[in-house]
Amino acid sequence: MESREHLRGATGLAISLTMKRILPIAFIIAVATPGAAAPATTRSSATPTAPPTDTGNSASPGVPAASSPITLALLEAQPAKAPTDSGYWPFALQQTNQAIELIESNTLKTADEFFRISKYVSASDNRFRTARVRYELCLAAAALGHTAAEHELASAWDDLLAVLGRPLRTDFEGLAQQHAEYADYYGLDAAPACVQAILREPEKARIAAQSAQRNAEMKKIVDADQADRQN
């Protein structure tokens, strides 16, 4: 009997010591394991922490909060930042995103609106996207008769070609001439002179077209085509 009691006591002591070692290790594993339940706390009266509230000030200074309906007037009311200013890049990125959001809302109607908003598509993680959107806006404004957009169309076209790794067609800004060391980037495959004349001086080309004498051979082909259509 005495030996059995002694054995039980020794066994209980061994189990107790083992549990004292295992429990702290189990606690550490539970805390360190992602998704594991947090250990229970004895402070049942602790006040839960309230979730953070959105104050609406997360946008860059001078830029409307993302939840605010953006309008062209709001974009134009924002203080301008130069590329050398501190915080320019995040400011320009957010401004560009807001401009694209407004464009995709399909609320712009006039040539003036298309041209004005093109000035706010200036920065993006994808240069092709911004160059394409700017070109489309200038093209739409020019098609609706906006004079300033007509003058920027050639430059916008060259910008789009450059980001695609294609040679410039007009070199409207003289990049190929000014940066000969970047010939691989600013290569020039000039458009025909008759096309360049229109892109560079649209008003002058329009006046010249009104007084130009039509090509006799072309007129004959067109007249014949129209006659066939009437028959």
Q: Which residues contact 91 (CB under 8 A, 6 or more apart)?
A: 60, 61, 62, 63, 81
* Nearest residue to 130 (alpha-carbon basis) of 164, 106, 174, 168: 164
Q: What is the pTM of this model?
A: 0.61
* Nearest residue to 114 (alpha-carbon basis) of 99, 129, 128: 99
Q: Where are the alpha helices (DSSP H) in the chain?
A: 2-32, 72-77, 88-104, 111-118, 127-143, 147-163, 175-178, 193-200, 202-211, 216-230
Q: Over the chain, what is the mean pLDDT?
A: 76
Task: Read off the amino acid at residue 34.
Answer: P
- pLDDT higher at 65 or 92: 92
Q: How confident is the model at residue 63 (pLDDT cuts 50, 70, 90)?
A: low
Phi (first) and psi of residue 188, to 5 degrees: -125, 125
Q: Write the pLDDT tens digit of every residue in 119-137.
A: 999 888 889 999 999 999 9
User: Hunting for tokens 């077209």 — which residue is that?
Assistant: 209
Length of the chain: 231
Q: How confident is the model at residue 67 (pLDDT cuts 50, 70, 90)?
A: low
